[in-house]
Structure 1
Amino acid sequence: MSIHYEAVSEDQVLCIRDLCNELMAYQKTLARIRPELFDSMCFETRMIPSLKRAKANLILIAKDEDQIVGYAYSNISPKETYSNEFATFFDLDSVKGNDVGCLSQFYIREKYRNRGIGTVLFERSMTWLQSFASINNRFIFVSNGNDQALRFYLGKGFAISHPILDGFITVLRNS
């Protein structure tokens, strides 16, 4: 196994379509609260709108030879993006400035988990998010039932802020 990492442009985002859809299906299998909400979530309904709303995007992929085995998607977006018909993800008044940074999607195929790939993707994502001097607030949203992801992010210095949608999502914030 020879893992290498690269950033891909928004024009190349289709290369992670299958992984994004795997992520949505995986989250549904773990969900204890309202798993049916994942039925309408897919690449076209999650990734594409997020890319379009964001001011800046970073799509990192992990490849084993030519096969993409994981990805992380981070963005800088207006804070108002996170108050919509689906949910209000955080108290907008608690955010200094107009924009927030988000590690929005993160997925590694099962056979590649617990090999350090997630740490590399996470650290590169955080380095990118921290490169924006005007961004003081970084968020991660963890779907219910994904306890492994929750422990991973807590171990990386994020703290639980609050649940939303009756516990469907746990909001994490940089501490």
Structure 2
Amino acid sequence: MNVTYEVIPDANIEECRDLCNQLMNYQKSIAHITPERFDSMNFETRLLPSIQHAKHNFTVVVKDHDELIGYVYSNISPKEAYDNEFATFFDLASVSNDHVGCLSQFYLKEGYRKFGIGSVLFNKSMNWLSQFQNVGDYFVFVSNGNHQALNFYKQKGFTPTHDILDGFITVLRSDRSLFTRL
């Protein structure tokens, strides 16, 4: 294994198309609550709009030789972006600042899990988020059935706060103080 990490600009997000679509398919395959919601979720409906509407974006891809094997996408967005026609993701009044940090998408091909690659991607994301002094709240949204991801984020210091859409998504939250030392 010859693993490399690369921060890519928004203009190169197309590199993540296949992995994003694999992420949506994976989430659908393990979901036990309304998996059909994933039928309309893909690169065009999830990743592109998020990048276009966020104030700041950060994407890291990981490769084994020249093969793309995973990515993490995080953003800084106005807290109001998380109260939309799809769902209200958290109580806006509980966030003291105007913007929140979100680890929005994270995917690593199955054969590459358990080697610490996910932790490297996670740490890169948290280091980037912690640069924004005026953002104190970080969120991760985990789809139902993804117990592996839920446990990963809990081990990293995120706390499940509530479910939305009748259990379709679990909301996890942390504050920047946990990650200013990474």
TM-score of the superposed pair, with normalisation by structure 1: 0.99
CA distance in 2 between counterparts of 1:3 and 1:17 reads: 20
1:28 corresponds to which letter in structure 2?
Answer: K
| CA displacement at 1:165 relative to structure 2 | 0.4
User: Cα deviations across residues 107-157 of structure 1 (Å, max 9, x unaligned)?
Assistant: 000111111110000000000001100000000000000000000000000
Counterpart for residue 84 of structure 1:
84
CA distance in 2 between counterparts of 1:33 and 1:49 reads: 24
1:56 corresponds to which letter in structure 2?
Answer: H
User: Cα deviations across residues 38-73 of structure 1 (Å, max 9, x unaligned)?
Assistant: 000000000010001100000001110111100000
CA distance in 1 between counterparts of 2:68 and 2:81 reads: 29
Counterpart for residue 25 of structure 1:
25
Counterpart for residue 160 of structure 2:
160
SS in 1 for 2:103: strand
CA distance in 2 between counterparts of 1:141 and 1:130 reads: 18
The gaps in structure 1 that reach 5 residues or longer are none
CA distance in 1 between counterparts of 2:143 and 2:71 reads: 17
1:145 aligns with 2:145: yes
2:171 corresponds to which letter in structure 1?
Answer: V
Identity %: 59
Counterpart for residue 131 of structure 1:
131
| CA displacement at 1:2 relative to structure 2 | 0.9
SS in 1 for 2:85: coil
| CA displacement at 1:97 relative to structure 2 | 1.1
| CA displacement at 1:33 relative to structure 2 | 0.3
Counterparts of 1:37-56 in structure 2, within 5 Å, are: 37-56=37-56
The gaps in structure 2 that reach 5 residues or longer are 176-182
Counterpart for residue 178 of structure 2:
none
CA distance in 1 between counterparts of 2:70 and 2:96 reads: 32
TM-score of the superposed pair, with normalisation by structure 2: 0.95
1:78 corresponds to which letter in structure 2?
Answer: P
CA RMSD of aligned residues (A): 0.6
CA distance in 2 between counterparts of 1:96 and 1:128 reads: 20
Query: Runs of at least 4 residues of structure 1 off by over 2 A?
Result: none
CA distance in 2 between counterparts of 1:20 and 1:114 reads: 20
Give aligned pairs, total. Answer: 175
Counterpart for residue 116 of structure 2:
116
CA distance in 2 between counterparts of 1:80 and 1:30 reads: 30
2:65 corresponds to which letter in structure 1?
Answer: E
